[in-house]
């Protein structure tokens, strides 16, 4: 394992800047997740680190050594692709053994076999080693794909949305397993995704990527609680953060220059109006999710969504009072004010 540093890395396709002067440091043994929507430059970033793309400017350093011009094979990275992860003409065993059989490695048969079986167990596919890789379910394929990276001990593992094609339940399981395995191995891992839950649950640090630029990087807690701007705030939180104009809801102190107030569930105090006090909001409808409710609220022509305790005794059409509690303030440029 090794640390990886990107310095001012830029890559354009035509006049489209897929990655725009990206600076990123991944410490040895760290699990970093880059979070961004489709087209943000996530795949390109990984390909630049792997040497599948050449940067127009900037350098990639792996283990302190600049990688300019180094071939993919010379970089000692492992890559899990978003799609097409397994060789269809090989069995699961052969797929897992493939990286170890490369002429660059030359491993004796017994070591190879032991390693393949160990990793197969780790990703829980050891019962299907002799299957054709095309005869697997989506979840099993993804396990093998991850396993094929794990058979090696590279400087860094690069994973490109490896769970995005799976259903929610499997995704949840594999998320936990991947985090467990990474801890077990002490692996340096750069994982890119558009799924905020994957980012929040697995990352040591999350980097928010937008249009090729790294907007903010920090621990999941920091990114969630202290977003640098509107874009970052909007990437995280379920339900989606409510963006309202200042003054719409009662608040202790709104900083000067506020253009937008961002309020998640924890920033909203909701009370039933008792004894003739006129509330400032109306319950529009209630979405029952089982353990929680999504409360859809109408305030002066704006619609807000917040989580609510299922026991909260309100119904659609009820008047309620809503006030802000230390929300997020953003200026006219979208940057965070306080």
Nearer to another protein, 4 or 199 (CB): 4
| Closest C-alpha among 265, 321, 287, 303 to residue 295 | 287
Scan residues 127-156 and list those touching ligand ADP (CB under 6 A): none
- Cβ nearer to ligand ADP, comparing 40 with 92: 40
Site string for another protein, 123-162 (x = CB under 8 A): -----------x-------------x---x----------
Q: Which is nearer to another protein, 78 or 232 (CB)?
A: 78
Residue 16: which of Mg ion, another protein, ligand ADP, none does it interact with, CB under 5 to 8 A by kind? Answer: ligand ADP
* 17 binds another protein, rule: CB under 8 A: no
Nearer to Mg ion, 92 or 210 (CB): 210
Binding another protein by CB under 8 A: which of 3, 17, 61, 98? 98
Query: Which partner in Mg ion, ligand ADP, another protein, none is near 18 (CB below 5 to 8 A by kind)?
Result: ligand ADP
Question: Is residue 18 a contact point for ligand ADP (CB under 6 A)?
Answer: yes
Determine, following the binding rule CB under 8 A, whether residue 88 of this chain makes contact with another protein. Answer: yes
Residue from 64, 83, 169, 278 touching another protein (CB under 8 A): that is 83
Q: Which residues of 306-328 are buried (b: 16+ CB within 10 A; e: fewer)?
A: bbbeeeeebeeeeebbbebeebb
Residues in contact with Mg ion by CB under 5 A are 43
**Residue spans of beta strands (DSSP E) within the chain:** 4-13, 16-26, 31-35, 57-62, 65-66, 77-80, 156-160, 189-193, 205-210, 213-218, 242-244, 260-263, 268-272, 281-288, 293-299, 302-308, 319-324, 328-330
Query: Do 80 and 192 meet the contact criterion of CB atoms below 8 Å apart?
Result: no
User: Rounded to an integer, what distance in angstroms lies between the CA atom of residue 28 and that of residue 1?
Assistant: 6
Q: Tell me which of ligand ADP, another protein, Mg ion, none is bound by residue 36, counting a contact when its beta carbon lies within the kind-specific cut-off of 5 to 8 angstroms.
A: ligand ADP
The reply to whether 55 sits near ligand ADP by the rule CB under 6 A is no
Choose one: 46-54, 110-118, 168-176, 199-207; the region binding another protein (CB under 8 A): 46-54
Matching residue, tokens 């509330």:
279
**Least spacing, CB of residue 250 vs ligand ADP, in Å:** 40
CB 30 within 8 A of CB 188: yes
In the chain, the N- to C-terminal Cα span, in Å, equals 39
| 158 vs 178, beta carbon nearer another protein | 158
Written as six digits, the tokens of 154 are: 């590279």
Q: How many angstroms separate the CA atoms of 98 and 92, rounded?
A: 10
CB atoms within 10 A of CB 295: 26
CB of 148 to another protein, least distance (A): 8
Regarding 38 and contact with another protein (CB under 8 A), the answer is no
Residues 6+ apart with CB under 8 A from 105: 99
The residues, ordered by sequence, that sit 6+ positions from 286 with a Cβ below 8 Å of its Cβ are 293, 294, 295, 296, 308, 314, 315, 316
Residue 40 interaction partner, one of Mg ion, another protein, ligand ADP, none, beta carbon < 5-8 Å per kind: ligand ADP
Beta bridge partners of 156: 77
The contact pattern for ligand ADP, residues 24-43, with x = CB under 6 A and - = no contact, is ------------x-xxxxxx
Q: What residues line the site for ligand ADP (CB under 6 A)? A: 13, 16, 18, 36, 38-44
Q: Which residues bind another protein (CB under 8 A)?
A: 50-52, 71-73, 75, 77-79, 81, 83-85, 87-89, 98-99, 102-105, 134, 148, 152
């Amino acid at each position: 394992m090794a640390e990886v540093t990107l310095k001012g890395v830029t890559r354009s396709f035509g006049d489209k800047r897929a990655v725009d002067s990206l600076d990123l440091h991944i410490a040895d043994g760290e699990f970093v997740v880059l979070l961004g929507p489709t087209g943000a430059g996530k795949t390109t970033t990984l390909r630049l680190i792997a040497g599948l793309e050449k940067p127009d400017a900037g350098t990639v350093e792996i283990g302190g050594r600049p990688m300019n011009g180094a071939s993919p094979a010379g970089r000692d990275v492992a890559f899990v692709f978003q799609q097409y992860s397994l060789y269809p003409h090989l069995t699961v065993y052969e797929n897992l053994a493939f990286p170890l059989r490369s002429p660059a490695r030359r491993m004796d048969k017994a070591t190879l076999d032991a390693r393949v079986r160990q990793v197969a167990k780790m990703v829980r596919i050891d019962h299907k080693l002799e299957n054709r890789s095309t005869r697997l379910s989506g979840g099993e394929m993804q396990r093998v794909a991850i396993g094929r990276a794990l058979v090696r001990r590279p400087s860094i593992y690069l994973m490109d949305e490896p769970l995005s094609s799976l259903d929610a339940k499997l995704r949840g399981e594999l998320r936990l397993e991947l985090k467990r395995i990474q801890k077990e191995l002490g692996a340096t891992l750069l994982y890119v995704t558009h799924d905020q839950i994957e980012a929040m649950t697995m990352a040591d640090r999350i980097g928010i990527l937008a249009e090729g630029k790294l907007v903010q990087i920090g621990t999941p807690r920091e990114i969630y609680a202290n977003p640098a701007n509107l874009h970052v705030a909007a990437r995280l939180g379920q339900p989606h953060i409510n963006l309202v104009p200042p003054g719409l809801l009662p608040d202790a102190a709104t900083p000067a220059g506020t253009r937008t107030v961002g309020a998640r569930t924890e920033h909203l105090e909701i009370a039933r109006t008792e004894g003739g006090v006129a509330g400032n909001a109306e319950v529009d409808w209630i979405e029952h999710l089982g353990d929680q409710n999504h409360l859809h609220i109408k305030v002066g022509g704006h619609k807000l969504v917040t989580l609510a305790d299922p026991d909260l005794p309100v119904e659609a059409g009820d008047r309620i009072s809503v006030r802000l509690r230390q929300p997020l303030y953003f200026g006219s440029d979208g940057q965070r004010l306080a």
